[in-house]
Structure 1
Amino acid sequence: MSALKLAIVGGGSTYTPELIDGFARLRDTLPIGELVLIDPAAERLELIGGLARRIFAKQGHGATVTTTTDVSAGVQGADAVLLQLRVGGQAARNQDETWPLECGCVGQETTGAGGLAKALRTVPVVLDIAEQVRRANPDAWIVDFTNPVGIVTRALQTAGHKAVGLCNVAIGFQRKFAAHLGVAPELVRLDHVGLNHLTWERGVTLLDAPDAVSGREVLPELLAGFGKEIADDLHLPLPVIQRLGVVPSYYLRYFYQHDAVVEELKVQGSRAAKVSAIEAELLGMYADPTLDTKPELLGQRGGAFYSEAAVQLIASLLGTDGGTSVQVVNTRNDGVLPFLPDDAVIEVPAEVDANGVRPLPQRPVEPLYAGLIAGVTAYEQLALEAALLGGRDRVFDALLAHPLVGQIELADQLTDRLLAHNRAHLPWA
């Protein structure tokens, strides 16, 4: 197969060198001939582009790296386009994580009122980019890593785009469980079910070989031997995890311990402020013309193992890995979880190959998890309608439906704050 052309929209992100490092290391799996970094921030783009070229050169990768602020030009002829943009930058994220706390609600960029604000800013921009991709190459895959991934992917798929969502939570669990078990990550398969940032590991299978269809269930063994480490990592009580017999995503803490998290956030300050400080330091490093590896500091930026997950997914979609793989992705439900609409976007293991993405059948989801999944799915549908159509009433409805809000007075206060902080990004407001 000839070398591929990939484009990254949001290529000026300080996180991009993590992707570049993965592309360089895993070039046999994903042979890239040209990589285009696209971003409106021209100065940052040149810094990232220069470092990307040096990383490729150091690792003996022959791909060319180009940069542009023009989406239409950059995606022309691309086989796959990765979306990792942040409308409003860290400043908008800081607001998303701050004003909900004034109402006693979690301030977080992917869930609750802050997550809704991010969705409202992001969906129209992503859909405009996707239309440019479709005009440039209707066969190109769009891989969305832009939060909130579930809502953004649903928007893309509803508009008929060839899109799939990707999150690093599942691969993070896979790598951690493999380390506990002392085995290669590809021998660990997850029974991972839910929505983006609302998932549970209901089982962990240890395979005899990477392509095996069955193996040994080891989740009870993991919880018995490494329960404290797992619970500490999630900041959740060990007795609860032991009683449930599952491993929740760390995002479940926003639901399971909402009030405690709110009090912590009031003391700790926003994650955005910390990330902004890390980004400033990283950009200084990237400007060093002798730097030709990703800095260790980048590990504090977030998104661990995303490059490996992205390479695996794109290689399967474009057929460069020679077969069908099973990967956790965000994709259309189509009856897999029968209590959700077909067009809901779920996060489950799926078969992925050059023919597309096919979510695997799931055993019935326990009511304790199904109820929350259904409630958040209803919120996501209302959030998407608000993002597409605008209007204060739609924003209010979405907040009232969210399990972390759910009260008239609270939804009303949050709606006012959301609109006040986001008027620059919401023409209808």
Structure 2
Amino acid sequence: MKLAVVGGASTYTPELVDGIARLRDELPITELALLDPDRDRLALVAGISRRILAKAGHPAELSTPDTVEQAADGAAAVLLQLRVGGQAARHVDETLPLACGCVGQETVGAGGLAMALRTVPVVLDIAARVAAAAPRAWIVDFTNPVGIVTRALLDSGHRAIGLCNVAIGFQRRFAGMLGLAPERVALDHVGLNHLTWERAVYVAGEDVLPVLLERFGDAIAAQVGLPVELIRRLRAVPSYYLRYYYEHDAVVKEQMSAESRASQVAAIEDELLRLFADPTVDTKPEALSRRGGAYYSEAAVDLLAALLGGPPAVHVVNIRNNGALPFLPDEAVVEVPATITAMGAQSWPVRAVPPLFAGLVSHVSAYETLAAKAARLGGADRVADALLAHPLVGQASLADDLAARLIAANRDHLRWA
């Protein structure tokens, strides 16, 4: 079985390879194709990836093809993990909105829209070439902003599913607090990518979230950056990304005097690439844990295993709504638990979502619809409309100002600008 990774020079790749090596019984990969335009960086990532596989005694061949078509040829699945513009563009995404008094974050608000504008056209071009070379291959999107990118892929008719590591991160942390194996813990996870809540934590069919909040409320609050009193009032654990909505002004004030996350990640990546270059390093470096993407390898490998003919399994994924959240259009993309088989994903029944959550989900989903359209078709008015629809912008003059700034800052990546 062949797996192709577009964006193979990402520093995430050794995390994925480590998972492939450890979980070989679940996902019997025979060839791993890493594709990336940065050939020098790819050589470093491929080198440590080969050493990880060799140390584990994994027989997979690792190749570094030159084209999407070569990478996709014969592949059962293609994993997308690219970052158009690199950390330099991310730094702009995180700092430019601050000049307008808006939160600066790579996937949320104006920064997230800028990332989508750069990324969606590139992803759609790659997906079209994948479809031509391997029509039955699954496209698994880990590229941010996952919800918008997955929406664009599905709207263009591709066999795609979106993946994020937020849910598996909560599952593993909750299991650790309870002293349980992760597979014994299931989540009532609902919302959109980077806009989700854990409304229940099931162990043997019983909701133990009240117990978790009673015993570990302060620790959970610290992890998501929100007051424990708010979490208890919500009777749900918001993802960390809800902090950008629930405490927007406080976050902006913090960000105005802090180093951007892009700058921090760039320094971590420099350290990782030096480690990758060391021919004696044949295990996943500890520094990779500071890069982000915790449990990425387990999430990706387990999802791929179910998609590619393994036993059906339940995973939290980004898929068409199709009635899962009845207050959203069917064509929206939502992040919910679903049963995964070789036929695709079938969402689980979702309990009624209260207005406090549904209102924000509806608002952001409408923005994502406009953002996907702006990214596909271009145009300053479409960009401004998407910003006007976003709950963290929502003012006409501010949306127009931000649109002009985003377009100017990203002009080299926008074919229509």
Q: Larger deviation: 263-272 or 197-206?
A: 263-272
Instruction: Tell me which residue corresponds to 1:205.
Output: 202
Instruction: Tell me which residue corresponds to 1:37.
Output: 34
Deviation sequence 1:289-315 (CA, Å, 0-9, x none): 111001000000000001000011000
Q: Contact (CA 8 Å) 1:350, 1:358: kept in 2 or not?
A: yes
Instruction: Tell me which residue corresponds to 2:118.
Output: 121
Give 1:68 deviation, angstroms: 2.4
Instruction: Tell me which residue corresponds to 2:160.
Output: 163
Q: Structure 1 segments of 4 or more deviating over 4 A?
A: none
> Residues 359-374 of structure 1 correspond to what in structure 2 (within 5 A)?
359-374=347-362
Separation (CA, whole Å) in 2 of partners of 1:8 and 1:41:
14
Matched, 1:265 2:255: yes
Which among 388, 391, 400 is matched to residue 379 of structure 2? Answer: 391
Deviation sequence 1:391-414 (CA, Å, 0-9, x none): 100000000000000011211111
Matched, 1:251 2:238: no
Q: Matched residue of 1:97: which SS?
A: helix
Q: Contact (CA 8 Å) 1:41, 1:69: kept in 2 or not?
A: no
Which among 61, 66, 75 is matched to residue 64 of structure 1? Answer: 61
- The answer for unaligned runs of 5 or more in structure 2 is none
Q: Matched residue of 1:68: which SS?
A: coil
> Residues 7-406 of structure 1 correspond to what in structure 2 (within 5 A)?
7-207=4-204, 215-320=205-310, 323-406=311-394
Question: RMSD of aligned C-alpha atoms?
Answer: 0.7
Q: Matched residue of 1:406: which SS?
A: coil
Deviation sequence 1:342-391 (CA, Å, 0-9, x none): 11000000000112110111111000000000000000000011011111
Separation (CA, whole Å) in 1 of partners of 2:403 and 2:33:
38
Deviation sequence 1:20-51 (CA, Å, 0-9, x none): 00000000100000000000000011111111
* Percentage of identical aligned residues: 66
Separation (CA, whole Å) in 1 of partners of 2:191 and 2:42:
35
Deviation sequence 1:201-232 (CA, Å, 0-9, x none): 0101002xxxxxxx111000100010000001
Q: Contact (CA 8 Å) 1:42, 1:69: kept in 2 or not?
A: no
Report the number of matched residues: 417
Question: What TM-score results when the alignment is normalised by the length of structure 1?
Answer: 0.96
Q: Matched residue of 2:257: which SS?
A: helix
Separation (CA, whole Å) in 1 of partners of 2:266 and 2:215:
37
Give 1:7 deviation, angstroms: 0.4
User: What amino acid is aligned across from residue 190 of structure 1 in structure 2?
Assistant: L
Separation (CA, whole Å) in 2 of partners of 1:198 and 1:360:
18
Q: Contact (CA 8 Å) 1:337, 1:362: kept in 2 or not?
A: yes
Question: What TM-score results when the alignment is normalised by the length of structure 2?
Answer: 0.99
Give 1:103 deviation, angstroms: 0.4
User: What amino acid is aligned across from residue 385 of structure 1 in structure 2?
Assistant: K
- The answer for unaligned runs of 5 or more in structure 1 is 208-214
Separation (CA, whole Å) in 1 of partners of 2:97 and 2:120:
21
User: What amino acid is aligned across from residue 362 of structure 2 in structure 1?
Assistant: A
Q: Matched residue of 1:79: which SS?
A: strand
User: What amino acid is aligned across from residue 278 of structure 2 in structure 1?
Assistant: D
Separation (CA, whole Å) in 1 of partners of 2:393 and 2:13:
34
Instruction: Tell me which residue corresponds to 1:210.
Output: none
Give 1:106 deviation, angstroms: 0.6
Q: Matched residue of 1:204: which SS?
A: strand
Instruction: Tell me which residue corresponds to 1:212.
Output: none
Give 1:69 deviation, angstroms: 3.3
Give 1:66 deviation, angstroms: 0.6
User: What amino acid is aligned across from residue 358 of structure 2 in structure 1?
Assistant: A
Q: Contact (CA 8 Å) 1:7, 1:75: kept in 2 or not?
A: yes
